[in-house]
Every structure is written in structure tokens, then in C-alpha cells.
């Protein structure tokens, strides 16, 4: 009897490990086939996306709009437990609402799924979309909870793709393209040089850094990053970030994984982009309180309070508000000026 | 001429190793936006180039062992020794693994070199130093020959790739992506400028 149980357990473990291995091996393919033009949504060099064309057409309208234009654009990127940009947790929704109330001068964007180069949700139209939908529907049950580990694993592998110097540029350019499309949908002006702040939670932190070079170049905008318990890697993209605020709760040990796993973050790697960035004083690490990485008592908890009575979620929002408001506006470059830079 | 089981085995190892390594390193093909048919042709072309390097290395082991240490072995025997040393490359597809892949590639290369030294030492009954010289001098020679610009090997390689795959150059993914983003920005600015001009 015991033998049978052990045998079944070992067989199941082997199947799960095998599945995870195959998932890891195939994880770069979505970005690679997209870039190579093997998918219908592939980028087309020499042609602008529909969103970009519409942006150009409505540029005059944006300029003519009355009222105070937004000072900042914040793009929220969810953590590895997410299946889409829409299906975020209640806690994240509360956080975003509070952020919007606290920063009326900013546009808050949360419609980009950071773990897909085409902003295609896991539950969207894809080969195993049906499977992800089933798992997502059942994730509140015990079995579903266990199966949901595959969602974490899938997105975790995507974070590894983003951080890998071979795949990273392709993957991150895809996500940056989706972010740019969303910014244009939200009336981001073409020649405003308005700061863009990518706010990434957990694995979303790496994506927030990874997209920086492409957003910086593609929008001609200064890029700032807020990492909420972000698992940051040694991605050289950090060189394109103006400033990074890293929030890490005293009970959140996950971000420290990056210190071990990524050699570019080791002190010995003095010339790495990460260490150069830190030496330049561009990184601020903040401990908001005794927050955990996720679940009850995490950064978005709307019930737990600090000793002074501040809700955890409010504390997180306050820190982000202060960080964002410390950003100095940059001088806008006109279309003509920018074009002349490229031509020269 | 009948093929000995050892040679069959060596050929199988070599074929699987080359195929696996090519799949593992195929990111450069995707990055260069090859079509599906170009992908297959590129794999074959790069496979052929890898085979040439392999043959050069095999010949160098045979030649150096004879020249420096006076031990001559038939080419087929050396081919079997070197092919068997390449066995770890059968795991070359693991290079695809994100983050771990490039560390794994480095590990595989070290493993292959150590294998080759051990196999040469065993087959030729060499000491460690002799095996090191016979195994690695050829590889260093290959590196040297490749870097000699007057031989124009690079131009030959580019011509060969152009003829077989339709692409002479395979560029770094980061450069390609940055170039694409820059071009998109310029296109957008030009479109906006045109729009402004029409509205004025």
C-alpha cells in the first residue's frame, strides 16, 4: 500500500517536473515567433501600428485640449500570479483607485498584461487559452489553487525570458510596444516628453525595468520605475531608467532572490549596469513597513495597519506619490528638433 | 564499404549534437526575422559550417599527434574519438532555457573539451600534457585561421550563407530591436510633421 502511494507520488512529481521543464524550454517561443513574423500580430518594419497612426491624427486635438494636461503617466504592471491586465486582485484594484485619487495630476494605466508581447491574456485567444481559463476559474478551490502554480510558473519563466540577454530585447520591445499603444490610447502626447513611470509588482518589476530602453527611445520620454517588492535582475536595461524606487517590506524576502541569482548584481561585478546605476545614486530603496510579498499583509492590504494607523495600501500609495512628485519635468522637444537629431 | 558499429555510433552522436546545438542557438535566426523555410535552410547551413569546424578539429588532432608525438591513427579512428567527445552537445537544446541557457552552454563546452582531452589521452596512451596539446592546439589554430583577415574566410562564410539562406549577416538581437524602435519613432514623427503641415 505504502509502496503504491510512494510510487504514485513520485510519478506525479516526475510528470509535474517534466511539464515545468517543457514550459521553461518553450517559454521564449512566444516572443521569438512574434518578432520573426510567424504570428499574425508580428511587428511590421516600415509601417506604423493603428494606435500610432491614430495618435498622429489626434495629436492636434490633444494640443488643443483645454485644462491642465497630465504631468505624469503611470503604467501598472501586475505580478506573476496574473492571467490578464483586467483580472487583477481586489487588493490591486483598491491600490489603483487610491493611487488615482492621490495623484490627480497623473494618468494611471493598468490595461497592459506584462507577460505577453502582444498584450494577449493567458485566458485569451492562444493555444492553451482554454486550459488557463479553466485553471483561473477554479483557482479559488483547493485543486485550482494547486493548478494555479502553473500560472505562476509560466509567468516566472516569462520574467526569466525578459531578463535573458538573448531573448530580453525582443520580449521587452514587444511589451514596450503594447505599453506605448496604451499610452497613445490614453492621449499621451507625441512631443510632450512627459515622464512615464512603470510600476511593477513582484515579477512585474523586472518587466518595468526591461521595457525602459524601448519606451525611452520610442517615446523620447524619461522613464522612471517603481518596484513594489520587485524581483529585479541584472538586466542592463536599467541604464535607461532615470530613477528607480524599490519598495521592500521587512517581511518580504522574495526580492532578495535577485541578489543571489543574478551575477550582475553581485558586488564583485563592479562594472555591471546594476552596480553603475546604484553608484550613480539613481536607486532608492524604501522599507514601507512589515509587509509580506503577497497575500494578507502585503503592500496592497486594505485592512492591515502600521503602528501609526496608516493602512498598508495607503502607505504604499503615499510613497509612490512622494516619489512621483519628486520628478522634475523635462523640457519638451518639438517634432522638428527631434527629427533633426535623427537626421544629423 | 561497410560502416563499423563504432562509426555508426559516432555519426549518430555527431548528427544529434549538431542538431541539438543548432536548435539551442536558434534565437539568432528568430531575431533576424527569418521565414519558416529560411529557418530550416539556416539550420542546415549553420550545421554544415559546424561540421567543417569539427572536421578541421579532427584533422588537427590526427595531424598534431603524428607530427609532435609520432603516433599516427587512421582518420576514421580519430573521427570516432572526437565525435564521442561531443556527446554532451546532445543536450545542446537546453541552451534555449531562459536565464540558465547560457551558463549551461558554457558548461557543455567545458565538458566537451575535458571529454576530448580524456578520450585522446586514453586512445593515444598520452600523458595529460600531450593530450592537452594534441586536443587544444588544433582548436587554437582554427581560431587563428578564422581571425586572419587576408584569408577572407569571413567573406566566404557570408557568401555561403547568402547563397544558402538568403541572408549574409546574422545580427545581434538588441541592435535589431533598437533599430526597429528608432525607425518606428522616426516614421511617427514624420507622419506627425506631415499632418501638421496639412493642417496649417
CB within 8 Å: B181 and A176: yes
Euclidean distance between CA atoms A131 and A161, whole angstroms: 22
Q: Which residue in B40, B165, B189, B194 has the most chain A C-beta atoms within 10 A of its own C-beta, making it the best mutation to test that interface? A: B189
CB within 8 Å: B195 and A342: no
Residues 190-219 on A with a CB inside 8 Å of B are 190-191, 213-214, 217-219
Residue A137 has pLDDT above 90, yes or no: no
Residue A27 sits at the chain B interface (C-beta within 8 Å): yes
Euclidean distance between CA atoms A237 and A245, whole angstroms: 15
The DSSP H or E segment spanning B101 is: helix B101-124
Mean pLDDT of chain A, nearest integer = 89
Residues 122-181 on A with a CB inside 8 Å of B are 157, 160-161, 163-167, 169-170, 173, 176
CB within 8 Å: A170 and B30: yes
CB within 8 Å: A176 and B187: no
CB within 8 Å: B186 and A46: no
Residue A242 has pLDDT above 90, yes or no: yes
E strand segments, chain A: 72-77, 106-109, 196-201, 223-228, 241-247, 283-286
How far apart are the CA of A104 and the nearest CA of chain B, in angstroms?
A: 29
* CA dihedral of B189, B192, B198, B200, whole degrees rounded to 10: -100
User: What is the tens place of the pLDDT at every residue in B25-72?
Assistant: 888 888 888 888 989 999 999 999 999 989 999 999 999 999 999 889
Place of cell 528638433: A337
- pLDDT category at A195 given cuts 50, 70, 90 is very high
ipTM of the complex: 0.85
Residue B106 sits at the chain A interface (C-beta within 8 Å): no
Q: In chain B, pLDDT over 70 holds for what percent of residues?
A: 98
How far apart are the CA of B121 and the nearest CA of chain A, in angstroms?
A: 36
The domains of chain B are located at 5-169, 170-200
What pLDDT is recorded for position A316?
Answer: 96
What pLDDT is recorded for position A66?
Answer: 58
How far apart are the CA of B197 and the nearest CA of chain A, in angstroms?
A: 11
Q: Tell me the mean pLDDT in the region A172-200.
A: 91
Name the closest residue on chain A to residue B28, using Cα atoms: A166
For residue B94, the chain A residues in CB contact (below 8 A) are 25
Cell output for A190: 507625441
* Choice between A196 and A56, residue whose per-residue pLDDT is larger: A196
Residue B96 sits at the chain A interface (C-beta within 8 Å): yes
Mean pLDDT of chain B, nearest integer = 88
User: What is the tens place of the pLDDT at every residue in A70-110?
Assistant: 899 999 999 998 888 888 889 999 999 999 999 999 999 99
- pLDDT category at A344 given cuts 50, 70, 90 is low
- pLDDT category at B121 given cuts 50, 70, 90 is very high
Q: In A27-126, which ranges are continuous DSSP H helix?
A: 29-36, 50-64, 90-102
Place of cell 513597513: A289
Closest CA to A293 of A254, A325, A324, A330: A254
Give the C-alpha distances (Å, rounded to integers) separating A22 from A64, A151, A269.
53, 14, 32
Residue B37 sits at the chain A interface (C-beta within 8 Å): no
Euclidean distance between CA atoms A188 and A313, whole angstroms: 27
Range in A216-220, A336-340, B11-15 the model is least confident about:
A336-340
- pLDDT category at A32 given cuts 50, 70, 90 is very high
What pLDDT is recorded for position A197?
Answer: 97
Domains of chain A: 69-327 (3.40.50.1820)
Q: Tell me the mean pLDDT in the region A204-228.
A: 95
User: What is the tens place of the pLDDT at every residue in B16-25?
Assistant: 999 999 999 8
Contacts of B111 (CB under 8 A, 6+ apart): B88
Q: In chain B, pLDDT over 90 holds for what percent of residues?
A: 48
How far apart are the CA of B167 and the nearest CA of chain A, in angstroms?
A: 14
Amino acid at each position: 500500500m505504502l509502496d503504491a502511494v510512494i510510487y504514485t507520488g513520485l510519478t506525479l512529481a516526475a510528470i509535474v517536473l517534466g511539464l515545468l521543464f517543457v514550459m521553461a524550454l518553450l517559454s521564449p517561443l512566444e516572443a521569438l515567433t512574434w518578432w520573426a513574423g510567424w504570428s499574425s500580430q508580428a511587428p511590421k518594419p516600415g509601417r506604423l501600428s493603428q494606435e500610432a497612426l491614430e495618435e498622429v491624427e489626434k495629436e492636434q486635438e490633444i494640443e488643443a485640449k483645454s485644462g491642465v494636461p497630465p504631468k505624469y503617466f503611470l503604467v501598472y504592471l501586475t505580478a506573476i500570479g496574473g492571467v490578464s491586465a483586467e483580472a487583477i486582485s481586489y487588493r490591486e484594484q483598491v491600490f489603483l483607485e487610491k493611487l488615482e485619487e492621490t495623484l490627480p495630476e497623473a494618468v494611471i494605466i493598468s490595461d497592459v498584461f506584462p507577460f505577453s508581447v502582444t498584450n494577449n491574456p493567458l485566458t485569451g485567444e492562444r493555444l492553451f487559452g482554454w486550459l488557463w481559463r479553466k485553471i483561473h476559474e477554479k483557482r479559488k478551490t483547493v485543486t485550482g489553487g494547486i493548478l494555479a502554480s502553473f500560472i505562476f510558473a509560466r509567468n516566472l519563466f516569462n520574467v526569466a525570458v525578459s531578463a535573458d540577454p538573448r531573448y530580453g530585447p525582443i520580449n521587452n520591445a514587444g511589451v514596450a510596444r503594447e505599453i506605448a499603444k496604451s499610452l497613445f490610447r490614453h492621449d499621451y502626447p507625441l512631443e510632450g516628453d512627459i515622464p512615464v513611470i512603470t510600476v511593477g509588482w513582484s515579477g512585474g518589476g523586472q518587466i518595468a525595468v526591461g521595457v525602459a530602453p524601448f519606451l525611452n527611445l520610442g517615446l523620447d520620454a524619461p522613464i522612471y520605475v517603481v518596484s513594489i517588492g520587485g524581483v529585479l535582475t541584472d538586466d542592463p536595461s536599467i541604464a535607461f531608467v532615470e530613477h528607480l524606487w524599490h519598495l521592500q517590506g521587512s517581511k518580504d524576502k522574495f526580492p532578495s532572490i535577485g541578489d543571489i541569482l543574478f551575477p550582475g548584481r553581485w558586488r564583485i561585478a563592479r562594472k555591471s549596469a546594476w552596480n553603475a546605476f546604484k553608484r550613480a545614486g539613481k536607486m532608492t530603496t524604501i522599507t514601507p513597513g512589515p509587509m509580506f510579498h503577497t497575500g494578507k499583509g502585503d503592500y496592497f492590504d486594505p485592512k492591515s495597519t502600521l503602528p501609526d494607523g496608516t493602512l498598508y495600501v495607503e502607505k504604499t500609495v503615499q510613497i509612490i506619490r512622494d516619489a512621483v512628485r519628486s520628478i522634475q519635468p523635462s523640457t519638451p522637444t518639438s517634432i522638428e528638433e527631434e527629427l533633426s537629431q535623427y537626421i544629423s | 564499404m561497410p560502416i563499423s558499429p563504432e562509426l555508426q555510433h559516432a555519426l549518430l552522436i555527431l548528427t544529434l549534437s549538431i542538431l541539438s546545438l543548432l536548435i539551442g542557438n536558434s534565437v539568432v535566426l528568430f531575431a533576424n526575422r527569418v521565414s519558416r523555410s529560411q529557418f530550416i535552410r539556416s539550420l542546415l547551413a549553420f550545421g554544415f559550417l559546424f561540421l567543417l569546424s569539427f572536421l578541421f578539429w579532427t584533422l588537427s588532432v590526427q595531424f598534431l599527434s603524428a607530427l609532435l608525438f609520432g603516433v599516427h591513427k587512421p582518420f576514421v579512428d580519430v573521427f570516432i574519438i572526437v565525435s564521442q567527445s561531443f556527446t554532451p552537445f546532445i543536450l545542446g537544446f537546453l541552451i534555449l532555457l531562459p536565464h540558465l541557457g547560457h551558463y549551461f552552454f558554457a558548461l557543455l563546452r567545458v565538458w566537451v573539451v575535458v571529454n576530448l582531452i580524456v578520450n585522446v589521452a586514453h586512445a593515444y596512451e598520452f600523458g595529460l600534457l600531450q593530450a592537452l596539446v594534441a586536443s587544444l592546439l588544433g582548436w587554437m589554430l582554427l581560431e587563428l585561421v578564422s581571425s586572419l583577415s587576408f584569408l577572407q574566410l569571413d567573406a566566404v562564410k557570408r557568401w555561403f550563407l547568402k547563397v544558402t539562406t538568403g541572408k549574409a549577416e546574422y545580427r545581434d538581437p538588441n541592435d535589431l530591436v533598437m533599430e526597429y524602435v528608432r525607425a518606428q519613432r522616426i516614421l511617427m514623427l514624420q507622419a506627425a510633421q506631415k499632418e501638421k503641415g496639412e493642417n496649417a
